[in-house]
Every structure is written in C-alpha cells, then in structure tokens.
Chain A
C-alpha cells in the first residue's frame, strides 16, 4: 500500500524516512499539535511550498531545465482564484473555475515559452523565462483595474472555510474548531494528493525519459525520444502544478498581491528550497521547503537576538541583522551547490 502510494520510490534511508514521517505527522496534526494562528499559517505555507518546490524540481532536478518563471505560474493560479471569486461570487464553483482557468492559462503560457526557447538551447530558457516573468509581474502591477495593482485583491471565499464558521459549540480535542481548520485540511489534503501525483509522474516511464534527457540529451534523441516534446511537456506539467499550488495558496490567504505570489524573491526561495533539499528527488522538495519556511519564520528572531548580543562589535551586528538572513542563505546555497550537489536528501541516502 505504502509502496504503491509512493510509486515505488522509497526514501532509501532510515533517517530520511523518519524525518518524512515526522513532517507528515506534524503537518497532518498541526491544528491540534501546535494550536495558534501563527503555527497554523506556517504549517499551511509549508504544505503549499512543498508542492511548489516539488513542481520546480520536476524541471530543475529531473529535466535539468532552469526556469525563472515559476512564480509567474504560481501567481497565475492565485490570480485565477482571485478573479474567479471576485466575478463569479462566493461559491465553491467559482473557486474551481478560477483554479482550472489558472492552471490552463499557466500550461498554455508554458507551452508558448517552451516552443520558443527550448527549441534552440536550454540556456535560452533561463534568460527568456526571467524576461517574461518580470514583464508579467510589471503588467500585473500596472493593470490595476483588473488585478488591483500593487495592493492586490482581497475576496470572499465560502463561509465554511472562514474562521467565522463554527460547526460545534464546544471545543474539540481542546481547541475551538473553526472553518479555518477545515480550510487547513483542504490545503493539506490537496497538497498531499498533488505531491503523490508528482511522485507518480517522476517515477513513470515519462519521468525516466526526462532523466535520460537530463543526463545526455543527444543520446536520448538518438535513441528516438523527441527531446523537445518531452521538455515542453515537463514544462507545461510543472507550470500547471505550480498554478494549482498558487490557487490553494490564494484560497488559504483570501488575498493575492504581486509581493506574495509574483515577486522574484519567492523565485529565489523556491530555488534555494530545491537545491538545499536535494535536486532530482521529490523528497528533497519536502525537506527543503520545511527547513526553509521554518527558518524564514523562526531563524530571523534568532539572528535578531544574535545581532543584539554582539551590538558592541563593529560590522558583525550588521551582518547578523535579521534582514540579512538572505545573505547567509545565499552563502549556504553556493556551498551546497559545490559540496552537496545532491542536497540534504542525497547526503542522507549516501550515508546509509
């Protein structure tokens, strides 16, 4: 059963398996294990970024394609939900329509970009996606009558999913059960399902061909696989999953804006998650996203404290200030590309 669920791709390391189980249990029981608004926010963000990082890993790790437009697809899904509920009213139908429209738009756009750039050489793709993504981000912030511009859009989702909804009068397992928790489980189970689908994709014959192309595209072409077709399909698939993750994020936040969905910072975050966790394995996305989001939410406090403690020394408090945590992640990123190209997961598997 478990093997079937994991599509035969087992963790292959006791520590990794234990870590994954801990993460799964913590996320599944988050509302009960860690009561509080902030920890629930963190848990939902982890779920969504696991899917986002996993879909990016399909490109970066499995196909060897570097894309800088992943947040664009993420944002398309989010804005799909936002526009859907704004124009079609407060219903589940509107959410589903918006989600579907966002995913289709993302896949179509990915197809177009892929046709243009993957045909020539893979390195074009990185540069072209960077250009297109920045153009889309500017466009979204300029077309304020449709997208709300820099302010973004706030909208109303069905009441069942909001904190105002209280199905039970008394407390359940020691916490007050609200629609927010139903919403969290919607996030959790959709993300879980999407992750298992991604796992299925990369362990299918299609996924094997992608890996063959990554290792030696010339040879894969010679064996008879249409390299461009496979690469474009992978791009579309990854874009669609990113858009779905964006849609889930939009339902959870009840708000979309350029900063939360389209900014280049999020793109860098995803890149860091995938590389630190481990490229070319879906479990890397799980580990990377979890470490990263936890660090983002809690490490900054720690760094702030360290900066306070060293305030008498020159320059060091500046380097340790909470705003500079991205710099340390950058250093970690470079070091992990050099010394642990397979990331945390690769290390754990090798040390078995």
Chain B
C-alpha cells in the first residue's frame, strides 16, 4: 500500500519579493516618471513632458479600453475599431464647426458646452455604428479568429472610404475653442490647457469605469464573463446581450477618443484611426488582453516614454514603443496584467 501523498497546505505570508512582483506593473508608471526626471534634469521641461505624456496616454487609454474589454469578453479582435475613432473625430469636428459661435466666444462655459455637444454627437453616432458593425460584420464570425481579422479589416476599409464620400478626400483643420488655446505656466513650466483637460477626462473615465466594473452588478457579470464566459451563461445570464452593450460602449469610447485626439492634433484625416490603432494595439498587448487596468498602465507608459524619448533622443522616439513592447513581452509574454488565459 502506498502512503497518501503529502498534502500540507501552507499559509505562509507572501515574501517581500512576491509582493513586489505583484505590484510591479502598478509601480512602473511612477518609476518611469522618476527615471524621466533623472534623465531630463530640468524640472520645468520634465513637468511639461510629463503632462503631455499623461494627456497622450489618457487619450490612448480611452480608445483602447473598449477594444480590450471586447476581446476579453467574447474573444473578438476588432481591427475595425480604428474606423470608429475616425468617424467620431469627423462627427465631433463637424458639430464644433457648426457651433463656431460658441467655440469662438471667450467664455469657458460656452466652449465646454460646445465640446460636450460634439462629444455627445460623436459618441451617439459611433455607438449606433458599433451596434450595426457588431450585427452585420462581427456576429457571423464568432469563434473564428482568422475570419474576424479579415472581415473587420474589410469593415475598416469600407468605413474609411465612406468618410471620404461624406466629408471629401482632404483633411480638415480645426482650431481648439478659444479658452482652451494656449498654456498656463506652473512652476516655470508651460502646460497646455487642453492637455490638462485631456488628463482630467481620462482620469474621470478610468475611475468611473473601475467603479462600474467593481461595484455594480453589470460590472460583476462583465468581469465574470471575461474570466469564464461559459459558467456565466450556465448561470442564466444572457452574455450575448452584455457583449453587445460592451461593444457599443467601446465604440462610443473610441468616438470620444477620436474627438479628443482630433482637437489635440488640430487636424483630422480619415486614416487617423488606422494610425492610432497601432498605438492602441501596442497598449492592449503590453497591458494584457482583456484587462482595463493593464490598458491604463500601458497607455500611460507609452505616452510618457514617447514624450521623454522624443525630448532626449528624437530619432529613437519612432521605435520606443516597439522597444517597450518587446521588453514587456520578454518579461511577461502574456502582457502585464493578463486576464484572459492563453488560447
């Protein structure tokens, strides 16, 4: 007779190293900021660069959050996400142009009201578009990655061309509203006002998203669906309905990101979403597929690193994102905070 295998569960506390390993992803952003400070030396340029890096990161996060949730929840990878960014930007800018009386006025309230209206218009249009996209393009190809990539790329092409049909083939230049132009000076550093607004919007959105995901019933279902969809379905929840909701919300967020990015660049083109998708994918990969927190950390790192490197060594800035992605994947092949198990 063989002896029963030893089964002695241990209740030892985590060692400091293990704790550090768990906390590393969260610590990476502050560490990067400190490293940037050491490398740059001058407080005022460092502050300017940090704020612009954070603003860029927040905008990328807004665009990336929907994509990563959609992937986590339904294992759908949507290459057409970039089209929503472009459409959002074009709709939003059209509204802003129509409200040029409000944006030209030297009143912060009127300016913000114009932006709010533009954002609402852009988000509603992209939400409807997302719903249609899910119905027509994505629905028939659940579970087949290869086909998903192909048809969503096809959708991207068609929507981009439709933008050309509706708004004409040339890019559109847009001025930021009167009160959001220029910069404020703080501790000797010039900080553009619009960047502060972008950081604020991004932070509010992240906190709201976390609250919804952690504190509400629907958030619980979404998180459970990401981790084990079959079990959630077995418990009687209509996960496909939840999924459509997340897809529509993600598309609306892409529209919001498009408006904000368009105002940041002050020029919009039909191809802008396609170009942003590259950054969005890098962020989603280094954050870990399906993880909103990971996307947040990843977006901030990408934004900060790109701004620091552009200041320190302009030639390297082009490949800094690829370098960051390579380093993270060597360290954690699944991304920093993976939620979805490798399939």
Q: Which residues of A contact B (CB under 8 A)?
A: 60, 64, 66, 116-117, 119-124, 126-128, 130-132, 134-135, 138-139, 142, 264, 268, 271, 275, 315, 318-319, 323-324, 326-327, 329-331, 333-334, 337-338, 341
Contact = CB atoms under 8 A, between A and B. Distances in A.
B181 to A, nearest CB: 29
A147 B330 CA distance: 31
Given A127-B281, A127-B284, A139-B318, A264 B274 contact: yes
B203 interface: no
Given A66-B150, A121-B342, 9 more contacts: A60-B146, A128-B325, A131-B278, A131-B282, A264-B274, A329-B157, A331-B154, A337-B141, A337-B154
A327 B162 contact: yes
B285 interface: yes
11 contacts: A116-B326, A116-B330, A121-B343, A124-B285, A138-B318, A268-B157, A323-B164, A326-B157, A327-B165, A333-B157, A338-B141
Contacts of B151: 334, 337-338
Contacts of B153: 268, 271
Contact of A271 (B150, B164, B284): B150
A341 B140 CA distance: 13
Chain A facing B: main interface SS = helix
A248 B169 CA distance: 33
Contacts, number: 100
Contacts of A337: 141, 147, 150-151, 154
A330 B147 contact: no
B161 interface: yes
A39 B18 CA distance: 67
B77 A123 contact: yes
B150 A330 contact: no
Contacts of B140: 338
Q: Which 10 A-B pairs have the closest CB atoms?
A: A327-B161, A330-B157, A334-B154, A330-B158, A127-B281, A333-B154, A134-B278, A66-B149, A135-B322, A120-B333
A208 B318 CA distance: 40
B165 A319 contact: yes
Nearest to A330: B157
Contact of B161 (A116, A138, A264, A326): A326
Contacts of A131: 278, 281-282, 321-322, 325
B287 interface: no
B278 A119 contact: no
Contact of A122 (B145, B162, B318, B325): B145
A58 B310 CA distance: 39
A130 B334 CA distance: 18
A115 B211 CA distance: 38
Interface string B326-343: 100110011000000011
Give the residue among B157, B274, B284, B326 with the most A Cβ atoms within 10 A. B157
A195 to B, nearest CB: 24
Contacts of B285: 124, 127-128
A341 B333 CA distance: 32
Nearest to A64: B146
A103 B208 CA distance: 51
Contact of A324 (B77, B164, B319, B334): B164
B44 to A, nearest CB: 28
B137 interface: yes
B88 interface: no
Contacts of A324: 161, 164-165
B77 A120 contact: no
Contacts of B137: 334
A132 B342 CA distance: 22
| Most chain A CB neighbours (cut-off 10 Å) among B285, B342, B343 | B285
A23 B70 CA distance: 44
Interface in B275-292: 275, 277-278, 281-282, 284-285
Contacts of A315: 165
B155 to A, nearest CB: 7
A142 B157 contact: no
B147 A341 contact: yes
A136 B245 CA distance: 37
A341 B231 CA distance: 32
Contacts of A334: 137, 151, 154-155, 158
Contacts of A338: 140-141, 151
Contacts of B330: 116
Nearest to A324: B161
A220 to B, nearest CB: 16
